[in-house]
Structure 1
Amino acid sequence: MLKWWIILYIAHRLASSLSHTPRTVVAPGIELRILPLGDSISFGWNSTDGTDGYRLELSQCLSSSSWLFVGTQRSGTLMADNYNEGHPGYTISRIGAVAGPGLAESPNIVLLHAGTNDLNNSPRPANESYANAPTRLGALIDEVLAQVPGTVVVVAQIINAANAGTEEKIQAFNQAVPGIAQQRADAGMKVAVVDMSSVGAGELIDGLYPTPTGYKHMGDLWLGALQRVTAMG
């Protein structure tokens, strides 16, 4: 059984340093059951390659014998293993409300990118203010770890947006993410952070969703986080 170390890892601009060939075995002898959890970005929305999103790049980088995606949703036309738990349009709280069936598939890695809809949509429900989005993210992480105590949650500082007002909110949200993760790591939870904020406005197809280049960038950043997490144990 893999010995997991609790780490806090922030990956800054790793895409340029990652090799795509040969495929990478990030945890020799261990099958990674990876749950991509989040909203439309985890689903791969607006991806011109067929809604494969960042999962396509990640799948092309990982050794075919060392991993599989899990989840109740399927999206993507370029890979057979297109399972995920991405829910287009969902806020953090709504993601938490529907995550149970995906978590029941016993992932040992959860890739969590959530918060875009909390910070972009208007008007806000009374219980989903912009300012409290970090608190909701922490609660979602707690829900994940309560249902699957042995899993590692890799939580993202989310990608940018072209709209100045939305981007300001995203920056404030992202500043809170490391503290959210560190608080839980200090309590013995298995949490890591990956910084997706280097996916900028020039890699967005409509100011909000990544272009194919943006999704590729995300896949490389996820790979870097997986390498750092699994190398520790």
Structure 2
Amino acid sequence: MTVGLGFDGGYRVELFHLATQDGHEVTFTGTQQMNGPAMVDGKPFPRNHEGISGETIEQIAKRIPTGLREMPHIVLLHAGTNDMYREPNGADTRLGALIDKLIAEAPDALLVVSNIIPLPGSANAVSTYNAKIPALVEARASKGAHVLFVDQFKDFPTSELGDGVHPNKAGYARMAGRWYDAISDYLR
């Protein structure tokens, strides 16, 4: 899950802009509300989210309560960056368990899982991890889960990493565009 470090609101700002410009009503849910502008395109920006900087896949999984307080319609999952420099071995297994937990807690939600964006300091680990994610998603989709894969890594230039880890404004806009392309048909 991504937090907007280096750009207030992260990809959520551009995602909100894209969705509302196409006439969709969109909000974000979560226990966090630490960043994001008050207004986007003259509309109140929903600042809630569940991205916490520095968390590993396992830490994210521990925060998913049984019986979510707010049942999301769509869950966007970009997780594993912190695992790449802490404990890359088994990250795909931990991601699979996290996906299963999210499916169990929000079975009617669309779960959109992406691979992670480049992390130059751990390029080999990222390549190995990212290569396994489409199969994790497909295995669950083939069993009827509402899950799909989004490729956030492909063609993501490292020049759009503001600090070598987190995207800058252009990188977040790129991520938002990919998320939006994947979910626009599912928005109300």
* CA RMSD after TM alignment: 1.8
Corresponding residue SS for 1:140:
helix
**Identical columns (%):** 35
* Letter aligned with residue 188 of structure 1: G
Aligned letter for 1:67? V
Shift of 1:43: 1.9
- Distance in 2, matches of 1:132 and 1:170, equals 12
Q: Distance in 2 between matches of 1:102 and 1:194?
A: 26
Task: Report 1 or 2 for greater relative contact order, CA contacts < 8 Å, sequence distance ≥ 6.
Answer: 1
What is the rounded CA distance, in whole Å, between the counterparts of 1:77 and 1:103 in structure 2?
23
**C-alpha separation between the residues in 2 aligned to 1:200 and 1:114?**
19
Paired residues in the alignment total 178
Q: Which runs of 5 or more structure 1 residues have no equivalent in the other structure?
A: 1-37, 122-128
What are the equivalent positions in structure 2 for 1:80-229 lying under 5 Å apart? 80-100=45-65, 103-121=68-86, 129-163=87-121, 166-197=122-153, 198-227=155-184
Q: Is the 8 A contact 2:119 2:165 kept in 1?
A: yes
Instruction: Give TM-score scaled by structure 2 length.
Output: 0.88
Contact 1:44 1:75 in 2 (8 A): no
Could you report, residue by residue, the CA deviation over 1:92-114 in whole angstroms, capped at 9, with x for unpaired residues? 00001013289421001000000
> Please, which of 19, 25, 38 is the counterpart of residue 66 of structure 1?
25
Equivalent residue for 2:34, pick from 75, 93, 109: 75
Q: Which runs of 5+ in 2 are unaligned?
A: 39-44
Gap change, CA 1:102 and 1:115, over 3 Å in 2: farther
Q: Is 1:91–1:118's contact at 8 Å kept on the other side of the alignment?
A: yes
1:57–1:215 CA contact under 8 A, matched in 2 = yes
CA positional deviation for 1:75? 2.9
Q: Give the SS at the match of 1:141.
A: helix
Q: Which residue of 2 aligns with 1:53?
A: 10
Instruction: From the superposition, tell whether residues 61 and 161 of structure 1 become closer, same or farther in structure 2 (CA, over 3 Å).
Output: same
Mapped partners of 2:34, 2:124: distance in 1:
30
CA distance in 2, matches of 1:92, 1:100: 15
3-state SS, counterpart of residue 76 of structure 1: coil
Specify the code of the residue in structure 2 equivalent to 1:170.
Answer: V
Give the drift of 1:135.
0.7
Which residue does 1:15 correspond to in 2? none
Change (3 A) 1:81 1:102: farther
Contact kept, 8 Å, 1:71 with 1:103, in 2: the verdict is: no
